[in-house]
Amino acid sequence: MSNLQKIHQDVAGIDVGACKFFVGTDDGQVHNFDTFTCGCHQVVEHLQEQNVKSVAMEATGIYWVTLYDMLTVAGIQVYVVNGRHVKHVPGRKTDVKDCMWIKELHSHGLLRNSFIAPIEVRELRSYVRIREKHIECKVSAVQRMDKALIMMNIRLSTVLSDLQGASAMSIIKAILGGERKPEVLVELCAPQVYKKKKEEVIKSLQGFYKPGQLFALQQAFDEYTFYTKKMEDCDKQINAVLKALTKDKEAPEAAATKKRIYHNRPKVDDLDKMMMQLFDGKDLTVLPGITSYSLLKLYAQTGNNWSAWKTEKEYTAWLGLAPSKYQSGKSRKYKKIKVNTTAGQILKECVQPLLRSKNNALGTFGKTISTRRGPSVAIKAMARKLACYIYRIMTKGLEFVENGIKQHQQKQQARTLKWLEAQAAKLNLKLTAA
pLDDT for the residue 96: 64
17, 25 contact by CB (below 8 A) = no
Binned at pLDDT 50, 70 and 90, residue 144 comes out as very high
Does residue 61 have a pLDDT over 70? yes
Domain boundaries, the chain: 11-107, 121-243, 251-406
Does residue 130 have a pLDDT over 80? yes
* Interval 157-171 mean pLDDT: 91
Does residue 186 have a pLDDT over 70? yes
Binned at pLDDT 50, 70 and 90, residue 154 comes out as very high
Binned at pLDDT 50, 70 and 90, residue 176 comes out as very high
pTM: 0.84
* Interval 297-322 mean pLDDT: 92
Q: Which CATH architecture has domain 11-107?
A: 2-Layer Sandwich (3.30)
| Residue pLDDT, tens place only, 242-293 | 999 998 888 777 666 678 888 889 999 889 999 999 998 888 988 888 999 9
